Amino acid sequence: MKSDKDDAAFPLLPEETRAAFAHVTTWVFDLDNTLYPPSSDLWPKIDHRITVFMAHMFGLDGLSSRALQKYYYQRYGTTLRGLMEEHAISSAEFLDFVHDIDRSSLVPDHTLAEAITRLPGRRLILTNGSRKHALHTARQLGIDHMFEDIFDIVAADLIPKPAAETYQRFFDRHAVDPQTAAMFEDIAHNLAVPHARGMKTVLVTPKAGAHDHREEWEIAAGAKAAHVDYLTEDLAGFLFGLGLPRLT
């Protein structure tokens, strides 16, 4: 873990920004490309597994499978939802297959772990992926024990973000008051409903010059969207910048 003297490596955010988070008692994090670096190879691995799943399912070549995959993703929010709506596939089989990846490229992120431990109140993961995937990934990062619970795509009744009913299910299940909560995400349109409900919203982007694995249409409506309150390319640095004391 970081020591107290290391805090100087992370400058404080402007006083106005720190004050905007002073009331937050519930901290909600997306998983993929948010809790681990957007430049990581994890999402491309999952993306490739989805393409392979569909190629096997439909007997398509790789290019045709990928085109159909992206069509479903943009139209339905996840490829899985498109496959369920149009082909009634088993969600469990899909989720097990696409998340069966090697996570060894991720190393424990002690800096992020220290930043998360300083957050007062509750910490939750809200993901369009599976609970199993979130647990394995958070464990690889060394942060799995820092979260109260995970709200996954199954808990959302397989309706993905950014659907309003998914957020409402999340709020209801975990008794979250959005007026005292903050949401951290890598996809801007997934912050629209949280912002409308009163959450502080933070868009996490790749570092300058790093590869951006998001789709072009996702990037286009990104940092300048009205529902994005704050922008950061360094999640740990942003959390340290809030100037929160280490909890004892």
Contact 201, 227 (CB under 8 A): yes
Q: Is residue 103 included in any domain, yes or no? A: no
Contact 155, 168 (CB under 8 A): no
User: How confident is the model at residue 39, as a pLDDT?
Assistant: 84
Q: Is residue 246 included in any domain, yes or no? A: no
User: How confident is the model at residue 126, as a pLDDT?
Assistant: 98
Give yes or no: residues 85 and 204 share one domain. no
Give yes or no: residues 24 and 142 share one domain. yes
Give yes or no: residues 152 and 64 share one domain. no
Contact 201, 195 (CB under 8 A): yes
Give residues with Cβ within 8 angstroms of 22, minimum separation 6: none
Give yes or no: residues 159 and 122 share one domain. yes
The whole-angstrom separation of Cα 112 and Cα 168 is 28
User: How confident is the model at residue 141, as a pLDDT?
Assistant: 95
User: How confident is the model at residue 221, as a pLDDT?
Assistant: 63
* CATH number of the domain to which 47 belongs: 1.10.150.450
Residue 50 has phi, psi (to 5 degrees) of -65, -45
* CATH number of the domain to which 207 belongs: 3.40.50.1000
Give yes or no: residues 9 and 126 share one domain. yes
Write out the residue range of the structural domain in which residue 234 sits. 4-38+108-241
DSSP letter (8 states) at residue 146: G
Q: Is residue 49 included in any domain, yes or no? A: yes
Give yes or no: residues 28 and 94 share one domain. no
User: How confident is the model at residue 74, as a pLDDT?
Assistant: 86
Pick from 98, 124, 140: which residue ends a domain?
Answer: 98
Q: Is residue 127 included in any domain, yes or no? A: yes
User: How confident is the model at residue 125, as a pLDDT?
Assistant: 98
Count of the separate structural domains present in the chain: 2
**How does pLDDT run across 64-120, given as a tens digit for each residue?**
999 999 899 889 988 999 999 999 898 999 999 999 999 999 999 999 999 999 999
Give yes or no: residues 139 and 31 share one domain. yes
Q: Is residue 180 included in any domain, yes or no? A: yes
pTM: 0.91
CA nearest 191: which of 222, 236, 149, 165? 222
* Alpha helices for 22-163 (secondary structure H): 42-58, 62-76, 79-87, 91-98, 110-117, 131-141
Rounded to whole angstroms, what are the CA distances from 197 to 162, 194, 242?
13, 5, 22
Give yes or no: residues 232 and 167 share one domain. yes
Pick from 54, 77, 98: which residue ends a domain?
Answer: 98
Contact 155, 129 (CB under 8 A): no
User: How confident is the model at residue 84, as a pLDDT?
Assistant: 92
The DSSP result for 154-217, as a single string, is: TTTTT--TT-HHHHHHHHHHHT--GGGEEEEESSGGGGHHHHHTT-EEEEE-PPTTS---S-HH
Q: Is residue 208 included in any domain, yes or no? A: yes
For the sheet with 230-232, list strands across it: 149-151, 122-126, 26-29, 181-185, 200-204, 230-232
Pick from 80, 98, 116: which residue ends a domain?
Answer: 98
Q: Is residue 233 included in any domain, yes or no? A: yes
User: How confident is the model at residue 37, as a pLDDT?
Assistant: 86
> Can you tell me which residue has the tokens 């004892």?
248
Q: Is residue 84 included in any domain, yes or no? A: yes
User: How confident is the model at residue 120, as a pLDDT?
Assistant: 95
Give yes or no: residues 94 and 162 share one domain. no
Positions of the chain with pLDDT under 50:
1-5
What's the CA angle centered on 65, arms 61 and 69, to 5 degrees?
A: 170
Give yes or no: residues 69 and 175 share one domain. no
Give yes or no: residues 94 and 152 share one domain. no
Give yes or no: residues 144 and 27 share one domain. yes
